[in-house]
Structure 1
Amino acid sequence: MRGLLIACAALCAAPLAAQDHSAHGSHGAQQTAPPVDHCAMGHLPPEQCPPKDDHAGHAVPQDKSAPGAAPETAVPARAFEGPRHAADAIWGTEVMASSRSQLARENGGMQTGVVMIERLEARIPVGGGEEAYLWDAQAFYGGDINRFVIKTEGEGEFGGAVEDAEIQALYSRAIGPFFDLQAGVRFDPEPDTRGHLVLGVQGLAPYMFELDAALFLSDRGDLTARIEAEYDQRLNQRLILQPRIELELAAQSIPERGIGSGLTKIEPGLRLRYELAREFAPYVGLEYEAKLGDTADFARGAGEDPDGVKLIVGLRAWF
């Protein structure tokens, strides 16, 4: 029995003796932790850290600010090593040439056209007076860069003659992501026949204001200007509140048209429209119209009120 116990003890002690205790060191030896690399952890400024060595297999980013370094816009030579159009090897040169042409046409080369009726409205003076109507529309045809634009606007009294009317024919060229430079001619059939040269800009100003500003030089040497700005505040998916303001200026007096020099007229207004469809939206609103300076004096001399508030009922549509 004693011999059996001795044999079992020997078998249990053998695996324990076989374990490697060399890593534990000698008895009484104190283990030390590796030093902390404060430079690698970003705890120290670069000037207090030693220069870094290149690591094998890792490319070191080039300092673009170093003298003689390639600029950020430089194209690496390896970019030109492969075929110009790799898809040609799979689909064929003829098929891919047609696809590339279609892609270019759809991304900047497509010709489109739109007719926009900005304002078609009846205007009812709040303080009494003659009810009037107004139209303001434009159309364009072309691409994203070059367009041909037609604009027209005018007004008159119901049951009476047209008081003011104009038609513009413009070449429009994109000068940025949000603005077009426009130049062309303007013809006024009313109140008297007159032609103008036109130079202006149209686009989307910061904070999403739509801006349309133009200078007009008439065939009689009169220089005038008009600035229109509006903003669409969407209250929900169909209801839109639109503040709008229009300013008119003149470099000189034009007595035959009842226009004085300086800031001649200001028209701030507010319109609330409901989109029955995206292309069709009736609206109601209020607008204040005021003639200023010598223009107001011309209006008083003709027996007219130089300012007043109007109730507006109108329609905005496009197709």
Structure 2
Amino acid sequence: MSRSNRHSLAIGLTSVLVLATGCAPAWAQETDHAAHHPAAKPAASPSSPRPADPHAGHLPTSPDKSSDDHGTMNHGNMRHGAANPADSEHTGMDHSTMDHSTMDHSTMDHSGMDHSGMDHSGMDHSGMDHSGMDHASMGHQPGVSEDLPPTAEPREPIPVVTPTDRAAAFPDLDEHLMHGESINSYWALDRLEAWDADEDGTGMAWEAQGWVGSDLNRLWLRSEGERAGGSTESADVEVLYGRAIARWWDAVAGVRHDFAFGGGPSRTYAALGVIGLAPYKFEVSATAYLGESGQLGVGAEAEYEMLFTNRLIGQWLVEGEAWSKDDPAVGIGSGLSKVEAGFRLRYEFHRQFAPYVGVVWERAYGGTADLRRAASGDVDDTRIVAGVRIWF
């Protein structure tokens, strides 16, 4: 080989070495991502020089090599959010259109990656295998809040409730605080009804009650009676003192007087009983009576109201009486005297005024039934009633 040829060859080798030395770092740091940019970069402005393409010479030479094999890629030195373009050309990369479903992350090292500038909104992770990823070095600790260390106590621990706290929350209230001292009253004509009697013409009946007083102490008045054929067959009135003994219960004590009609005598009894609201909203009244001659009687009544609408209300009623001795003068026999049951359906045009219709069944038992048979009366009776309920 001639001297001139050897000289030219030396110059060419030297140039190759210089170029290789200058490009080697960039070659080691960059990976061919040309296949991840389907759209070409916009053309540079004619007035500004075109920047050098760091990926020049790295484009694939055939379509078969257009996709990278990320399974063996090392992202340890990559900084996707680097501010200096010289550190990495991945600054501002948009991964939203990249399909990582076929990537195998099991061999990838993410310990040095900075994902602060990456957009993963469009990435498909359904096919990615994260089983080999080291989340501890990435700062991801499942189930642990980022604001608190794993072993930190709650910022505001719930204090233990002490007996002193309970006593302060539920202080003992005296009578003046528990019960109002104002005087109130309630008067109700629960039933004022009429029916068509077969033999005696029109029948009528009433039941009324009311009270006046405070929440703790009340004066009760009760009355009921019945008329048939234009004459009063029975009527009584009770005057009772009531004292609240529980949240929904009053104990009552007083006097009952039965008026004399049809030539019979009147009767007066001492009364002792309870009035209240039983569980499941049954209104209950039970009273024991002690007569002048040692006659002992018990009367009980229970009512239950069923709301079909806010104004259409059905009322169920059952009541009964029992006496210890026969008293033929007033038509009472020993044992269970009578039982009455009925259903009344009322419509409250106004809360204080409600007409109703209903059906009532009554039957006499024991000695009372015998006395009615002797007087040619009916032992049992069923009637359709219509009436009105008023309170104020």
Instruction: With the length of structure 2 as denominator, give the TM-score of the two structures.
Output: 0.57
What is the aligned partner in structure 2 of residue 134 from structure 1? 205
Structure 1 residues 207 and 299: CA distance shift in structure 2, 3 A = same
What is the aligned partner in structure 1 of residue 383 from structure 2? 310
What is the aligned partner in structure 1 of residue 302 from structure 2? 229
Mapped partners of 1:221, 1:308: distance in 2: 31
8 Å Cα contact 1:119/1:136 also seen in 2: yes
Mapped partners of 1:70, 1:260: distance in 2: 59
What is the aligned partner in structure 2 of residue 167 from structure 1? 237
Mapped partners of 1:74, 1:239: distance in 2: 45
Structure 1 residues 110 and 12: CA distance shift in structure 2, 3 A = closer
Shift of 1:283: 1.8
- Which runs of no fewer than 5 residues in structure 1 stay unpaired? 39-52, 77-102
The Cα RMSD (Å) is 3.8
Find the partner of 1:116 among 176, 183, 188.
188
Mapped partners of 1:60, 1:117: distance in 2: 55
Bigger mean CA deviation after superposition, 202-211 or 128-137: 128-137
What is the aligned partner in structure 1 of residue 270 from structure 2? 197
- Which runs of no fewer than 5 residues in structure 2 stay unpaired? 1-18, 23-48, 55-82, 89-108, 114-132, 145-150, 170-175
What is the aligned partner in structure 1 of residue 311 from structure 2? 238
Find the partner of 1:176 among 246, 262, 272.
246
> Structure 1 counterpart of 2:206, which letter?
W
Mapped partners of 1:206, 1:179: distance in 2: 11
Superposition pairs of residues 61-76 of structure 1, within 5 angstroms: 61-62=159-160, 70=163, 73-75=166-168
> Structure 1 counterpart of 2:253, which letter?
A
> Structure 1 counterpart of 2:194, which letter?
A
Structure 1 residues 298 and 57: CA distance shift in structure 2, 3 A = same
Tell which structure's C-alpha radius of gyration is larger: 2
Percent of counterpart pairs with the same letter?
Answer: 37
Are 1:208 and 2:281 counterparts?
yes
Structure 1 residues 128 and 236: CA distance shift in structure 2, 3 A = farther
> Structure 1 counterpart of 2:190, which letter?
E
Are 1:280 and 2:353 counterparts?
yes
8 Å Cα contact 1:54/1:60 also seen in 2: no
Q: What whole-Å deviation, never above 9, does each CA across 1:59-80 have from its counterpart, x for those lacking one?
A: 5643x7xxxx74662439xxxx
- Secondary structure at 2:180 match in 1: helix
> Structure 1 counterpart of 2:319, which letter?
E
Superposition pairs of residues 244-255 of structure 1, within 5 angstroms: 244-255=317-328
- Secondary structure at 1:260 match in 2: coil
> Structure 2 counterpart of 1:119, which letter?
R
> Structure 1 counterpart of 2:204, which letter?
Y
Q: Which has the higher strand share?
A: 1
Mapped partners of 2:322, 2:84: distance in 1: 108
Mapped partners of 1:167, 1:14: distance in 2: 108
Are 1:186 and 2:264 counterparts?
no
> Structure 2 counterpart of 1:143, which letter?
S
Higher relative contact order (CA 8 A, sep 6+): 1
Aligned residues: 265
8 Å Cα contact 2:200/2:229 also seen in 1: no
